[in-house]
Amino acid sequence: MDLDAEMRRRAALVEQGIDRLLPASNQSPTRLASAMRYSMQAGGKRLRPVLLLAAAELFEPAGTGLDPVPAAVAVECVHTYSLIHDDLPCMDNDDLRRGRPTLHRAYDEATALLAGDALLALAFELLARHYSSQPGVAAALGGELGSAAGFGHLVGGQMLDLLNEKSDAVTAELLEEIHLRKTAALIAASLVLGGTIGGGAPEQIGQLRRAGLELGLAFQIMDDVLDATADSATLGKTAGKDAKADKTTSVKLHGLEASRRHAVARSEAALAALRPLPGDASFLTTLVGSLAARGR
């Protein structure tokens, strides 16, 4: 399979969806609309929305008949908001994201804060508006994304991360909890949203969630490896930040080689969770395999 071409085909649907569903840059206040687009159209990998589309495809042609693209854009809105806020001076204070100046550097802090807020709100507006013909589906999507974005996961995980940043007492268990909440939950939610739009049965949605959590852990471990081994130009964000801040990461706790092994083991667990699912999972499985290989 030509993984890049398969990825690009789905990412193009996401790009078109973003262009269609975000406020137009001439809409007032234009500074806010263009700030939202600056971050959303900066060329991220689109991993989460592509996973969502791929999970929905597993159930075609049966499915619910609903278009997964607005939900894919919603997931990318939540992800991008979290990056914008994470880069702010009160958090990571970063200058580079997706190969460009971070939003607060290109605009200003208040605009970056508000653009993040507006993207988070837009995500839930998209789910409510585009899936209203099937209220049960709309409610499930909103509940899932809200849970992944909120106290129990993304925001709570970020808080735990901040609280433990300078600590020498971070255990492997705590680090895994932070990874699960901060990174894996939104990746799992992407697969779950796709499966829900596809009309998957509860046990199939459960498998997608398991696969997403394992994949999310693998992805975060490899992100730690890449932070320690790649350069900023390759990553499109500041490299080497974790070691500089003496942050507890998988690499600090387990070393490079053990971290790579853990990522491979997590990817294999993700593949095992995908196995019982219906449909052609070859794109998903190839993508999962490639993510564990990206730090090699």
Q: Given the rule CB under 6 A, which residues bind ligand GRG?
A: 44-45, 47, 79, 82-83, 85-86, 98, 154-155, 158, 182-183, 220, 223
Backbone angles phi, psi at 101, to 5 degrees: -55, 140
Q: How far apart are the first and last CA of the chain?
A: 20
In the complex with ligand GRG, the residue whose CB is nearer, 120 or 271, is: 120
Residue whose C-alpha is closest to residue 66's, from 183, 199, 246, 223: 199
User: Are 215 and 266 a contacting pair, CB within 8 Å?
Assistant: yes
- The DSSP symbol for 64 reads -
In the complex with ligand GRG, the residue whose CB is nearer, 86 or 95, is: 86
In the complex with ligand GRG, the residue whose CB is nearer, 47 or 218, is: 47
In the complex with ligand GRG, the residue whose CB is nearer, 158 or 229, is: 158
For tokens 């500041």, what's the residue? Answer: 238
Angstrom distance (rounded) from CA 174 to CA 157: 10
Minimum distance of ligand GRG from residue 18's CB (angstroms): 12
Minimum distance of ligand GRG from residue 202's CB (angstroms): 28
User: Are 78 and 141 a contacting pair, CB within 8 Å?
Assistant: no
Minimum distance of ligand GRG from residue 256's CB (angstroms): 17
Shortest Cβ contact with ligand GRG: which residue? 44
Minimum distance of ligand GRG from residue 107's CB (angstroms): 17
Three-state SS string over 79-104 comes to HHHHHHHHHCCCCCCCCEECCEECHH
In the complex with ligand GRG, the residue whose CB is nearer, 66 or 211, is: 211
Minimum distance of ligand GRG from residue 42's CB (angstroms): 8
Minimum distance of ligand GRG from residue 260's CB (angstroms): 16
Specify the pairing of strand 96-97 against strand 100-101: antiparallel
Write out the two tokens for 268.
Answer: 């294999």
Residue whose C-alpha is closest to residue 73's, from 44, 104, 33: 44
Minimum distance of ligand GRG from residue 252's CB (angstroms): 14
Sign for the pseudo-dihedral over CA of 45, 142, 149, 212:
negative
Distances (CA, A) of 264 to 48, 180, 295: 19, 16, 11
In the complex with ligand GRG, the residue whose CB is nearer, 103 or 137, is: 103
Residue whose C-alpha is closest to residue 182's, from 91, 113, 259: 91
In the complex with ligand GRG, the residue whose CB is nearer, 239 or 277, is: 239
Sign for the pseudo-dihedral over CA of 35, 36, 37, 43:
positive
Minimum distance of ligand GRG from residue 160's CB (angstroms): 11
Planar angle of CA 71, 75, 80, nearest 5 degrees: 145
In the complex with ligand GRG, the residue whose CB is nearer, 128 or 226, is: 226
